[in-house]
Amino acid sequence: MRALFAAGILALSAALVAPDASAWCRTSTVRPAPGECSDMGTPLMWCSACVGLSVNVEGSLDIPLETVRTEAAAAAARWRDAPCPGELMDPPMFELRVIDDTRVFSGINHGGTNANAVWFNSLWRADALHRPGTIAITIVSFDRRTGEILDADVELNQNTDQNPNGFVFSTGMPAPDTADLPTILTHEFGHALGLGHSDQDRAVMWPTAGMGEQRITLNTDDAEGVCDIYALDRRPSAQCDPPGTTQRPELTCNDTPYGGFAPSADGGRAIGGCSVLPGSTGRSRPWMTALLAAGAIVASRRRWRLR
């Protein structure tokens, strides 16, 4: 009898610790091993209530610039309107906004102006970030001490004669052998917001996408992820308080990129942790070394890679 009772307790315990359905992941100041979610470091987030994204005027070979802008705005709105679960029915308190076009590409300029660029990269040279078979990546620069995201740039691997392993992008009815731009932008904007990959294959943040596949509707897992960062009861966040804060500032919307908007590249943007060194001049502070978090979407046999 005692053994049966013990077995019952064990079964109940198992039920109580049933697998957590959440599969979303937040990126943090500590980069995880490939395919894993980091549980170390400080999670990344934007500290304003909004930020501006800019489409690079060089655009795409496949899609008119105006359509790229429209699709970027639509992808941003999907995250803005995510229904937060539970009692918090308000949408997330953060918005990506499409602002003026830019000529800026990826990187961050600590001494000057910036743009959060969305651009089609027709010279996808393989390196640690630009892996072959990748449809797109998002490069996120952040404050390593607080986890505040300072800049995010989305690169789409554009097929050209010079870049034959890149991808042809399409909009509207998903076309075979093309990457659905709305799907790819929605996924990459999840990274720009501070999300990593989900292990639910129905989630927008699932790391692969098929050619001709459209997956633009946030599922519950995606919504829980973005709401964990930006839901009403989490804003403003103590994580975003300047040093010595005694009264938390009101959350305000300022869509100007870090350091001011850059309509054109001035050569000062760099990728990675070497752009700011202790003792450097200008606005940067020694502790504000921007590191790099990259998320991508990749291709499997029939499903291509998202980062």
List residues near Zn ion by CB under 5 A: 295-297, 306-307
Shortest reach from residue 100's CB to Zn ion, in Å: 26
Shortest reach from residue 187's CB to Zn ion, in Å: 6
Shortest reach from residue 9's CB to Zn ion, in Å: 42
Q: Which is nearer to Zn ion, 53 or 296 (CB)?
A: 296
Q: Which is nearer to Zn ion, 132 or 249 (CB)?
A: 132
Q: Which is nearer to Zn ion, 150 or 209 (CB)?
A: 209
Shortest reach from residue 303's CB to Zn ion, in Å: 12
Shortest reach from residue 216's CB to Zn ion, in Å: 14
Q: Which is nearer to Zn ion, 218 or 276 (CB)?
A: 218
Shortest reach from residue 269's CB to Zn ion, in Å: 22
Q: Can you give the three-state secondary structure of the chain, one letter per residue?
A: CHHHHHHHHHHHHHHHCCCCCCCCCECECCCCCCCCCCCCCCECECCCCEEEEEEECCCCCCCCHHHHHHHHHHHHHHHHCCCCCCCCCCCCCCEEEECCCECCCCCECCCCCECCEEEEECCCCCCCCCCCCEEEEEEEEEECCCCEEEEEEEEEEECCCCCCCCECEECCCCCCCCEEHHHHHHHHHHHHHCECCCCCCCCCCCCEEECCCCCCCCCHHHHHHHHHHHCHHHCCCHHHCCCCCCCCCCCCCCCCCCCCECCCCCCCCECCCCCCCCCCCCCCCCCCCEEEEEEEEEECCCEEEEC
Report which residue's Cβ sits closest to Zn ion: 295
The C-alpha atoms of residue 263 and residue 82 are separated, in whole angstroms, by: 30
Q: Which is nearer to Zn ion, 55 or 297 (CB)?
A: 297
Shortest reach from residue 289's CB to Zn ion, in Å: 24
Q: Which is nearer to Zn ion, 51 or 154 (CB)?
A: 154
Q: Which is nearer to Zn ion, 49 or 296 (CB)?
A: 296
